[in-house]
Amino acid sequence: MAKAPVLTPQAEDFPRWYQDLINKAELADNGPVRGTMVIRPYGYGLWERMQQEMDARIKDAGAQNAYFPLFIPQSYLTKEAEHVEGFAPELAVVTHGGGKELEEPVVVRPTSETIINDYFSKWVQSYRDLPLLINQWANVVRWEMRPRVFLRTSEFLWQEGHTAHATYEDARDYAARIHTDVYGDFMTNVLGIDVVLGRKTAKERFAGAINTLTLEGMMGDGKALQLGTSHELGTNFAKAFNTQYLSKEGKQELVWQTSWGVSTRMVGGLIMSHGDDNGLRVPPRLAHVQVVVMAIKGDEAVAKVRELGDQLKAAGIRVHVDDRVDTPFGRRAVDWELKGVPVRIEIGPRDLENGTAMLARRIPGGKEPVQITELLDLLPKVLDEDQAQLLRESRERRESRTSDVATIEEAAEAAIAGGWARIPWADLGPEGEAKLAEQAVSVRCLIAEDGSVPEADDAPGTLAIVARSY
């Protein structure tokens, strides 16, 4: 009798495969309140690495980290009409505290534009105070009707950046810088996901923004996942909160603003972009465990893997030593394969006699014996090759499953079949976008013919990327 697979095969049931992987790889559990999640240590390690890589890029862009309260007076959200309308169905509202009814209900933050703008209005007085570039790492709550771990949860972790500028041009350029230099660089070169950078349509734009820039990734089943957004807020929040500055010319002017964020949804994107029927595959540049050194059995093997682990750590490789020889080797190997650690180095008594180790590569697959003395030179090359392979696979999948179409019907057909469609926005327009929505198909973003981000929805030659999405 054939052995049952550890995971439901992707081709059989992709959503079930996703849930199986999260469970078997010990990434997360469902929380006790519907729509919440418990992120387990290995899953949180992935998020921590994402934080580290993102935080460095955010600081390179000039932003500083701060922290703002979890609770926001309900009256703050009503100051910007589009904003409150956009978030009203998702709000969690606290009406009682300390055993008493509150004088004013407070909202558990869904995002922090309103409370941060209240403080921006106090902190910004002169053009000398601009630009003001703030980022915070926090949790937010958006009451989710159809939860799915990492992808859509009522509480999730993220970073949210908020900035104030003297001119429209400065704000526009900064939002674009975050879009490309921070998010685009990270997702392409660390996550290994070949994201499309584009512009949201008016229908899909962030509530209260004048423009939203997005990064869309194609998942293993052909659906799109929005992995991050950067918004131009214009002066909408500045008007609502009276955030003004004294210009060089001595005039009171409204600030121009941006906001931008990515979340633990990226962990879900990582799983669905790179995972296979054997589990997760983690890009080496992201992995908090790049190499696991495993003792198969025997005291001498245990001593050797510990020694080798120290050498690899000293060389700057993120390594974990698995010397649990009281646990069957096969079970441990399957566990690490499920977790997607890029490289396993396996050493047993016979390997020690030959001065070799078995090198198992998770991303391309396969095993080969190598000299232990060659590992320090070999591993950086292997990790670079495997990082490049994941990005190449992501790009090839997107290109092979994206069709150029001429009609709304063809666009819907391509999306429903499990791919993306490119169609001229002039041929689709808001009316066509509404027709696609009736079939659970959406315009993920607008791009220019050369793949760049168009300056306006109606820019000549603008193409719409159409797909089903998570």
For 226-267, the pLDDT digits (tens) are 999 999 999 999 999 999 999 999 999 999 999 999 999 999
Average pLDDT over residues 103-116: 94
- In the numeric block, which tokens belong to residue 466? 């159409």
- In the numeric block, which tokens belong to residue 67? 């922290």
Residue 82 has pLDDT above 90, yes or no: no
Nearest to 194 by CA among 403, 339, 398: 398
CB distance 235 to 210 below 8 Å: no
Residue 2 has pLDDT above 80, yes or no: no
Report the mean per-residue pLDDT for the chain: 96
Nearest to 141 by CA among 179, 184, 112: 112
Classify residue 396 by burial, with Cβ atoms within 10 Å: 0-12, 13-18, 19+: exposed
d(C-alpha 256, C-alpha 241), whole Å: 12
**Amino acid 36: pLDDT:** 96
CB distance 161 to 127 below 8 Å: no
Quickly state the pLDDT bin for 87 (edges 50, 70, 90).
confident
Terminal Cα distance for the chain, rounded? 37
For 302-341, the pLDDT digits (tens) are 999 999 999 999 999 999 999 999 999 999 999 999 999 9
**Amino acid 79: pLDDT:** 83
Report the alpha-carbon angle 255-260-261, nearest 5: 155
Please spell the DSSP secondary structure of 83-134, one letter per residue: HHHHHGGG-EEEEEETTEEEEEEEEEPS--HHHHHHHHHHH--BGGG-SEEE
Share of the chain above pLDDT 90, in %: 94
**Amino acid letter for position 195:** V
pTM of the model: 0.95
* Strand, helix or coil for residue 139: strand
**Amino acid 81: pLDDT:** 67
CB distance 361 to 159 below 8 Å: no
CB distance 142 to 175 below 8 Å: no
Residue 404 has pLDDT above 80, yes or no: yes
Average pLDDT over residues 88-117: 92
Quickly state the pLDDT bin for 1 (edges 50, 70, 90).
low
Cβ-defined contacts of 439-442 (< 8 Å, 24+): 439/412, 439/415, 440/468, 441/411, 441/412, 441/415, 441/416, 441/466, 441/467, 441/468, 442/204, 442/466, 442/467, 442/468, 442/469
For 120-149, the pLDDT digits (tens) are 999 999 999 999 999 999 999 998 889 999
**Amino acid 90: pLDDT:** 86
Calculate the CA 329 to chain-centre distance.
Answer: 33
Residue 407 has pLDDT above 90, yes or no: yes
Average pLDDT over residues 272-294: 98
Task: From residue 204, give the alpha-carbon distance in Å to each of 210, 348, 442.
Answer: 11, 56, 9
Q: What is the CA radius of gyration of the chain?
A: 25
**Amino acid 88: pLDDT:** 75
User: Which residue stretches of 178-292 are H helix?
Assistant: 185-189, 236-241, 265-274
Q: What are phi and psi of 292, to 5 degrees?
A: -110, 125
The residue count of the chain comes to 470
Instruction: Name every residue whose Cβ is closer than 8 Å to that of residue 54 and which is 6 or more positions away in sequence.
Output: 159, 182, 186, 262
Is the preceding peptide bond at 460 cis, omega within 30 degrees of 0?
no
Cβ-defined contacts of 244-249 (< 8 Å, 24+): 244/121, 244/124, 245/124, 245/125, 245/126, 245/127, 245/129, 245/130, 245/166, 246/125, 246/126, 246/127, 247/127, 247/166, 248/127
**Amino acid 344: pLDDT:** 98
d(C-alpha 7, C-alpha 366), whole Å: 20
CB distance 298 to 348 below 8 Å: yes
For 153-205, the pLDDT digits (tens) are 999 999 999 999 999 999 999 999 999 999 999 999 999 999 999 999 999 99
For 7-27, the pLDDT digits (tens) are 999 999 999 999 999 999 999
C-alpha dihedral over 318, 324, 329, 331, to 10 degrees? -80
Residue 84 has pLDDT above 80, yes or no: no
